Amino acid sequence: MTIKLIILAIVFVLSGGAAFSEYFRGHKKLSFLATVIAIIATFYLFEDIWEDIEEQISKTKESTITQSPVLKPSIQLPVITKSEPPVSSLSTQIVTKPSPPIKINEGNFTAYFQPKKDEFETTTDFTNRRRKLLQQFNNNVKQRNLAYQAGILSLTKYNADSQIFIVNLTWQANWVNQFFGKLEGKGIVKIGVKEAKLLKQKGLNKPLFITASLNDNQVEIQGLIVENSQIYPISLLKIPQMVKIPVGKFQMGDIQGSGSSDEKPVHWVTIKQPFFMSKYEVTFAEYDVFVEATGRKQLNDEGWGRGNRPVINVSWHDAVAYTTWLSQQTGEQYRLPSEAEWEYAARAGTKTKYWWGNEIGKNKANCNRCDSQWDNEQTAPLGSFSANQFGLYDTVGNVWEWCADNYQDSYNNFPTDGSVWEKSSKYRVLRGSSWNNNPVNTRASDRVRYDPDYMFSNVGFRVVRTF
């Protein structure tokens, strides 16, 4: 634009000067006046042109200053965005942690019992936050918030002398099964006589709430009755899971011919009635409820853990007492298995040394030289190995299991109907072998004798329930 103005100005001066000089020829005064006017006009015209040039130069400088340097990238500053903070700020970065849930809808307690760890959260911070969530849950329980109610309790049976109070549990919350599995509808109220009397006077039905505590990163659950700020703890009755064993006929004893004399003679036994046998060996979790309810001395777990590990250091008398108590609590008939029932269930229709074959194999059971991580060291948690064809676990190794029978040194005159051999003896029978015995002792037909008062870290039991 500026170049065009300059050209026009020059043309204007030349053409104007020529026109004026021709028009005012012979009139000196008028010609002089026209020349002055042309000069003044030309001055103002060039002044405007210069101002325009300065404005263009100023804009060019400003544009140059605002541009990022291209020729010197080594001194260019980094661009910091909100999504990518500079590395130097990470050490002081404040991470926003998930806030605790305020309202629980439809009984979903996952946020309390199974919170997710934030990727920037340390293990310590996560554990502390999890504890706070559980505390928040428990506070709602203690405030008798019905949204946290697990079910209804009915006091149905009690014995003031033994301070055992039986309640029936009617589950009302769907979230119970998510964290407790399928629970039976019976439990034991661990309260005193006066408290039980007051509880009954106020009405048979009371809400059952659940509290949770964090112990070694494991959530431990307990049932509570909350009434007028008074808390009555509930010990949920843990009933062993049972598997139905069908009727059938089998050869009992040393079929392979590699056993001891007390495994002979081999004979046929007919199981005429089906029965239920516990899917696993009785656990500490199940047995400890019995101990607490009856005031018995707690059994030693050797430091291996309780919970879902098989109960150990249990005598034959202890095992029988447990089955008697369990029968009283449930109204069902529980007992120790007969030797014939035990071997029939352990074989599960097979004729080999073990239900999977004649070789012990690797990592199929817990025994000395069974090639498992617990070999000759300690018991294994329930379900660590595969179940046999009847759905029973750990019939090979882990812990010896008490049977109801009196021990005899041969099978002469042994009952052929699967019943308990009641012939007098000072010993009782153990079956199944354990974590510190050799594979030869884990055969389905192997049997040992022990005093019924015998208690050791490799002895436990499983139970049978009749129809």
pLDDT in tens, 127-149: 889 889 888 888 888 888 888 88
Residues 299 and 447 in one domain: yes
State the first-to-last Cα distance of the chain, in angstroms, to the nearest integer: 110
Instruction: Evaluate whether residue 283 is within a structural domain.
Output: yes
Instruction: Evaluate whether residue 175 is within a structural domain.
Output: yes
Closest CA to 334 of 321, 324, 319: 324
56's tokens: 């263009």
Quick count: other Cβ atoms within 10 Å of Cβ 48? 12
Residue by residue, what is the 3-state secondary structure of 277-324? EECCCCEHHHHHHHHHHHCCCCCCCCCCCCCCCECCCCCHHHHHHHHH
Number of domains composing the chain: 3
Instruction: Evaluate whether residue 98 is within a structural domain.
Output: no
Residues 370 and 313 in one domain: yes
104's tokens: 């629980």
Residues 168 and 268 in one domain: no
Q: Which of 193, 221, 236 is the last residue of a domain?
A: 236
Residues 167 and 195 in one domain: yes
**What does pTM read for this prediction?**
0.62
Residues 334 and 449 in one domain: yes
Please state the φ and ψ torsions of residue 14, each to the nearest 5 degrees. Answer: -65, -50
373's tokens: 């991580």
pLDDT at position 287, please? 95
Tens of pLDDT along 158-202? 777 766 777 777 777 777 766 665 555 666 666 667 777 776 776
Q: Which domain holds residue 220?
A: 110-236
148's tokens: 């946290």
Instruction: Evaluate whether residue 456 is within a structural domain.
Output: yes
Instruction: Evaluate whether residue 103 is within a structural domain.
Output: no
Q: Which of 236, 262, 293 is the last residue of a domain?
A: 236
Instruction: Evaluate whether residue 80 is within a structural domain.
Output: no
Tens of pLDDT along 301-342? 999 999 899 999 999 999 999 999 988 877 789 999 999 999
Instruction: Evaluate whether residue 88 is within a structural domain.
Output: no
How far apart are the C-alpha atoms of 242 and 295, rounded to whole Å?
26
Residues 413 and 271 in one domain: yes
Residues 417 and 293 in one domain: yes
341's tokens: 């029932």
How far apart are the C-alpha atoms of 283 and 291, rounded to whole Å?
12
Q: Which of 236, 258, 288 is the last residue of a domain?
A: 236
Closest CA to 256 of 338, 347, 361: 347
Phi/psi class of residue 216: alpha, beta or left (left: φ > 0; alpha: ψ in -120 to 50)?
Answer: left
With beta carbons less than 8 A apart as the criterion, state whether 393 and 385 touch: yes
Residues 56 and 118 in one domain: no
SS3 404: strand
Beta bridge partners of 206: 153
With beta carbons less than 8 A apart as the criterion, state whether 267 and 411 touch: yes
Give CA angle at 123 (121, 124), nearest 5°: 100
pLDDT in tens, the chain (467 residues): 555 556 655 656 555 555 555 555 566 666 666 666 666 666 666 666 666 666 666 555 444 434 433 333 332 222 222 222 222 222 222 222 333 333 334 456 777 877 888 889 998 898 889 889 888 888 888 888 888 888 887 777 777 776 677 777 777 777 776 666 555 566 666 666 777 777 677 666 778 888 877 766 667 777 777 766 677 777 667 788 899 999 999 999 999 998 999 999 999 999 999 999 999 999 998 999 899 878 899 999 999 999 899 999 999 999 999 999 988 877 789 999 999 999 999 999 999 999 999 999 999 999 999 999 999 999 999 999 999 999 999 999 999 999 999 999 999 999 999 999 999 999 999 999 999 999 999 999 999 999 999 999 999 999 999 98
Residues 125 and 159 in one domain: yes
Strand 400-406 and strand 459-460: pairing? parallel
State the CATH number of the domain containing residue 333. Answer: 3.90.1580.10
Instruction: Evaluate whether residue 91 is within a structural domain.
Output: no
Residues 194 and 252 in one domain: no
Residue by residue, what is the 3-state secondary structure of 389-400? CCCCCCCCECCE
Residues 180 and 318 in one domain: no
Residues 397 and 373 in one domain: yes
How far apart are the C-alpha atoms of 342 and 431, rounded to whole Å?
8
Closest CA to 173 of 215, 145, 199, 200: 145
Burial of 127 (0-12, 13-18, 19+ CB in 10 A): middle
